[in-house]
Chains A and B, each alone.
Chain A
Amino acid sequence: MGQIEIITANTAAAIAAKLCRVQVISAYPITPQTPVTEELAAMVESGDLKAEYITVESEHSALASVVAASQVGARVFTATSANGLLYMHEMLHWAAGSRVPIVMACVNRGVGAPWTILNDQQDTIAQRDTGWIQMYCRNSQEVIDTMIQAYRIAEQIQIPIMVCYDGFILSHASTPVDVPFQDEVDRFLPSLEDRSGIDGKTPMNVNPLILSDPRPDANGVLMPGYMEFRYRLQQDILGSLEAIQSVDSEFQDTFGRSWGGSVWGYHMDDAEHAIVSMGSLASECTVAVDQLRSEGIKAGVVGVRVYRPFPSSQIVELLSGVRTATFFEKDVSYGYQGALAMDAKAAMYESKSRPEISSYVVGLGGRDVRPEQLAEATLKCVKGPVQHCWLNVSG
C-alpha cells in the first residue's frame, strides 16, 4: 500500500516518472499532455526530482534528445499527444532501431485535420508499426503502475514503450490513486545499469550506415546486415510478452495490484458474448457488461492492455469459447476498418472455434459513447454479426 491521492492521470504519469527517478526529461507541450510537462518541470526546478529537463522546441527534438540521452546511459522520459506524436514519427523508428529503453506517456487525442483536442486513439494506433511496445491503460491507477512496470520491461528487453491513456477522460479527471512509496519503487526498479560503453577509452560509431548483407569486421568475423538487426528487433518485441507478464506478476507481489499482463478479462469465465476493447473504453465496456448481465445476457470484456506486441494467443484463448465477439475501438484504418478488430480477426484465423465477429468504430474526436449504447450495440451483434459499423454517427 502507498498513499491515496486524488489525482489526474497526467499527474499520475508525472509522479510515476519521479518515482522511477528519471534522469533526463525532454518534452514539448501539447493538449492534453501539457500538465505532465508542467508538473515535471516544477519537480525539477524545485529540486524534488534530480533530473535534466530539456525544454525543446518540438516533439521531433523531444524524442531525438531523449534517444541520445538514453544512448549515453541515462533513464529518460518524454510525453506527447496526437500531432506531436505524429511529428515524432521518424524518431519513433529511430528510437526502436537504436534499442533504447525510453518510456513515453502518450495521452490519446484525435489528429487533425480538422483540429480536435478531444480523445480517440488514432494517434498511437497510427504508430503501431514503429517497433515500440504499446500499453493502453484503463484508469489513472493503471497509468502510474504501468509507467513503473514499463521501465522494468523496457530496460530488460531494450525496446521503447508507449504508455497510452485517453485524453481528458483520464488525463484531466481526478480519481483516487494509490501512489506507491519511493522505497518500494526503488526495490522494484533498480537504478539503470549504464550500457552506453562510454568510458573515455572506447571509440565507437553508433547507428552507422549498414549494408543489406553481413560484412566482416576488422578481424574477419562476419557481422550481421540490416535485415538481421530488424529480425532481432522483431524476435525481441514478440518475446517481450513473456517479460510483460512476469513483470506484472512481480508488480503484484510487491504492490498488490495486477493489470493482467497483456490482456485482461472481465466476467469471461462463463461469457458467451465478448466485448473487446482498449483503454478507458474497455473500462466503460465493463459497465455495459453489467447491464447486459442484468438483462440475462452472459457477456464479458476482453481488455487489450498490450497492443504491440499483439497478444494473439491470449486473445484467441479468451475468445475461443464465446459465440460472439464485438469490437469497440476509437481508431480506423481508413479504407478498411478498426485496427484492433483487423488484428484480432487475423489472429482468430488459426482458431478452430471462431466466434462471430462484429466491429464498431466509436468515439472519434471525443464523440460521446455511453455504456448503454455499447450494450445496445452488443445486443445487436448477439442477434447476428454487424460488419464494421460506426456507432452514434449520422451521415
Chain B
Amino acid sequence: MSKNSTPIRTVSTPAEGEAGKTGDWRSQTPKIDHEKCSQKDSCLLCWLYCPDGVISATFPLEINLTYCKGCGICAEECPRKAIEMVDDK
C-alpha cells in the first residue's frame, strides 16, 4: 500500500453546521411571545413542523438562531400567533 496519507474511502462523520451557520440565510427572524405560548396548554406545532428541527421541545420554547433558516413555517402554523417573523435589518 502507498504511503499516501489520504484515506482509502470517502466517509463523512456527523457534526452540526455542515453547511455552516445557516442562520445567516435568514432575512426574517422568528420572535416568540412567551405570554401567548405557555407550557401547560401549548401544542408544539412549531417544533413539529420545523423542517430543520431547530425549535426546542421544552419550555420556554427556544429557537436555535445559529441555524434557523427563517422559513417562517413556525409563525405560519402557530395557532395562537405567538411567533412573529421580524425583518432582519
Give A contacts to B, CB under 8 Å: 97-99, 156-158, 197, 203-208, 210, 217-218, 224, 228-229, 231-232, 235-236, 239
6 contacts between A and B (CB under 8 A): A156-B1, A205-B12, A205-B13, A231-B4, A232-B7, A239-B1
Contact A197 B6 (CB under 8 A): no
State the interface size on chain B (CB cutoff 8 A): 13
Residues from chain A with a CB closer than 8 A to the CB of B14 are 203
Contact B2 A236 (CB under 8 A): yes
Residues from chain A with a CB closer than 8 A to the CB of B12 are 204-205, 208
CB closest residue in chain A, given B16: A218
Contact B13 A157 (CB under 8 A): no
Residues from chain A with a CB closer than 8 A to the CB of B8 are 99, 158, 232, 236
Within the complex, what minimum Cβ distance (angstroms) separates B78 from chain A?
32
Contact A236 B13 (CB under 8 A): no
Residues from chain A with a CB closer than 8 A to the CB of B1 are 156-157, 236, 239
Q: How far is the CA of A1 from the CA of B15 in the complex (A)?
A: 55
B1-59, CB < 8 A from A: 1-2, 4, 6-15
Contact B10 A232 (CB under 8 A): no
Main secondary structure of the interface of A (DSSP, over half): mixed
Residues from chain B with a CB closer than 8 A to the CB of A99 are 8-9
Give B contacts to A, CB under 8 Å: 1-2, 4, 6-15
Contact A235 B13 (CB under 8 A): no
Contact B6 A203 (CB under 8 A): no
Question: Which of A98, A197, A205 gathers the greatest number of chain B CB atoms within 10 Å?
Answer: A205
With A157-B1, A239-B1 as contacts: A204 and B13 at CB distance below 8 Å: yes
CB closest residue in chain B, given A158: B8
With A217-B15, A218-B15 as contacts: A206 and B2 at CB distance below 8 Å: no
Q: Lowest 7 CB-CB distances: which A-B pairs, in order?
A: A218-B15, A205-B12, A235-B2, A232-B6, A228-B6, A224-B6, A99-B8
Residues from chain B with a CB closer than 8 A to the CB of A217 are 13, 15
Within the complex, what minimum Cβ distance (angstroms) separates B8 from chain A?
5
Q: How far is the CA of A228 from the CA of B7 in the complex (A)?
A: 9
Q: How far is the CA of A139 from the CA of B89 in the complex (A)?
A: 77
Contact A232 B13 (CB under 8 A): no
Question: Which of B7, B9, B11, B15 gathers the greatest number of chain A CB atoms within 10 Å?
Answer: B9
CB closest residue in chain B, given A232: B6
Q: How far is the CA of A116 from the CA of B84 in the complex (A)?
A: 70
Q: How far is the CA of A158 from the CA of B2 in the complex (A)?
A: 12
Q: How far is the CA of A210 from the CA of B10 in the complex (A)?
A: 8
Residues from chain B with a CB closer than 8 A to the CB of A218 are 13, 15
Specify which of A156, A205, A224, A235 is in contact with B7 (CB 8 Å cutoff). Answer: A224
Contact A203 B13 (CB under 8 A): yes
Within the complex, what minimum Cβ distance (angstroms) separates B10 from chain A?
6
Contact A206 B11 (CB under 8 A): yes
CB closest residue in chain B, given A225: B6
Q: How far is the CA of A32 from the CA of B11 in the complex (A)?
A: 38
